[in-house]
Chain A
Amino acid sequence: MSVAFWYAAAATLLQVALVALGGPLLVGLMAKVKARSEGRVGAPISQPLRDLYKLAAKERLHARHASVVLGLAPMVVLASTAVAVAISPLVSTRPWLSSSADILVIVYLLLTGSAAAALGGLDAATAFGGMGASRAMTIGALAEPALLVAVVALSVQSRTSNLPGIVGATLAHPDWVLSPSRLLALGALVIVVIAETGRIPVDNPSTHLELTMIHEAMTLEYAGRELALVSLGEAMRLGLLFSLVANLFVPWGISTHRTAISLVAGAAFLALKATVVALGVVLIEVRSAKLRLFRLPELLAGGFVLSVLAVVTGLVAR
Chain B
Amino acid sequence: MGLYLSALGLCAAAVVAGALLPRRPRVAVAAMLGTAGCLVALAASLRVLVTGETVMYHTTQVLPFTGLSLSLDPLGAWFVMTSAVVGVAACVYLVGYAREGVASRTAMAMFMVFLLTLLAVPVASSVASFMFLWEMMALSSLLLILSDQARHGDARSAAIWYAVMTHLGAASILLGFLVMGAAGGGQEFAQLGVQASTMSPWARGFAFFLVLMGFASKAGAVPLHVWLPKAHPAAPSPVSALMSSSMVALGVYGIVRVGVDLLHGGSVWWWVVVALLGVASAFYGGLHATTSTDLKRLLAYSTIDVVGLVLIGVGAAGALNDSGLPGVAHVAMMAALLLVLAHAGFKGALFLAAGAVERATGTRDLDLLGGLIHSMPVTTLVVVVGAGSIMAVPTLSGFSSEWLLLQGLLHGFSATSTPTVIVMLLGVIALALTGGLTAVAFVKVVGIGFLGRARSPGAANAAEVAVTMRVAMIWLSVVAVAIGLVPGLLVAAVNRAASTGLARDSASPLDHGTGLVLTQLRGAIAPAALLGGLVVVMVVVVLLNTTMAQRRARRVDAWGCGRDVATPRMQYTATSFAEPLQRVFADVLRPQADVEVTHVAESRYYEQSLLYENRVVDVVEARGYRPIIDAVLRAGRRARGLQNGSINRYLALGFVAVVVALVVA
Residues of A participating in the B interface, judged by any CB pair closer than 8 Å? 56-69, 71, 75-76, 78-80, 82-83, 86-87, 96-97, 99-100, 102-105, 107-109, 111-112, 114-115, 118-119, 121-131, 133-135, 137-138, 140-146, 148-149, 152, 155-156, 159-162, 165, 220-221, 224-225, 229, 293-294, 297, 308, 311-312, 315
Contacts and interface: CB of A to CB of B under 8 A. Distances in A.
A141 B440 contact: yes
A116 to B, nearest CB: 9
B384 to A, nearest CB: 9
Contact of A63 (B414, B525, B557): B557
A130 B545 contact: no
B556 A145 contact: no
Contact of B440 (A122, A138, A146, A156): A138
Interface in B500-525: 515, 517, 521-525
Interface in B86-128: none
B480 interface: no
Given A108-B394, A126-B558, A315-B425, A133 B534 contact: no
B581 A67 contact: no
A102 B392 CA distance: 14
15 contacts: A64-B557, A66-B558, A78-B541, A83-B533, A86-B533, A100-B525, A102-B523, A109-B530, A115-B439, A118-B447, A122-B448, A125-B451, A162-B522, A221-B559, A293-B580
B526 A99 contact: yes
A165 B566 contact: no
B440 A152 contact: no
Contacts of A59: 549-550, 554
Contacts of B557: 63-64
A221 B558 contact: yes
B428 A100 contact: no
A148 B292 CA distance: 26
A100 B580 contact: no
Given A80-B534, A135-B580, A67 B443 contact: no
A128 B290 CA distance: 20
Given A83-B530, A114-B439, A126 B549 contact: no
Given A60-B552, A63-B557, A111 B522 contact: no
Interface in B380-427: 388, 391-394, 399, 402-403, 406-407, 410-411, 413-414, 421, 425
Contacts of A137: 439-440, 443-444, 577
B640 interface: no
A145 B433 contact: yes
A138 B580 contact: yes
Interface centre among B437, B526, B577 (most CB of A within 10 A): B577
B394 A112 contact: yes
Contacts of A149: 428-429, 432
Interface stretch (B23-31, B489-497, B567-575, B591-599): B567-575
A109 B555 CA distance: 31
By Cβ-Cβ distance, the 10 closest A-B pairs, closest first, are A130-B572, A141-B436, A122-B447, A145-B432, A60-B553, A63-B558, A79-B537, A125-B452, A62-B553, A160-B522
Contacts of A311: 425, 428
Size band of the interface chain B makes with A: 35 or more
A214 B451 CA distance: 20
A144 B579 contact: no
Contact of A97 (B290, B370, B529): B529
Residues of B contacting A: mostly: helix
Interface centre among A86, A109, A134, A221 (most CB of B within 10 A): A134
Contact of B525 (A86, A102, A111, A229): A102
Nearest to A133: B447
Contacts of B550: 59-60
Contacts of B535: 79
B537 A82 contact: yes
B448 A159 contact: no
B414 A159 contact: yes
A141 B558 contact: no
Given A149-B432, A221-B559, A118 B443 contact: yes
A82 B544 CA distance: 15
A195 to B, nearest CB: 12
Given A111-B391, A137-B444, A311-B425, 17 more contacts: A65-B371, A79-B533, A83-B534, A96-B533, A100-B524, A102-B403, A109-B394, A121-B447, A122-B572, A123-B451, A125-B452, A125-B558, A125-B571, A144-B436, A152-B432, A308-B429, A312-B425
Contacts of B537: 78-79, 82-83
A83 B403 CA distance: 18
B436 A71 contact: no
Contact of B421 (A62, A127, A315): A315
A134 B576 contact: yes
A297 B584 contact: yes
Nearest to A56: B548
Contacts of A141: 290, 436-437, 439-440, 581
Nearest to B421: A315
Nearest to A97: B529
Contacts of A308: 425, 429
B374 interface: yes
B548 A126 contact: no
A237 to B, nearest CB: 14
B626 interface: no
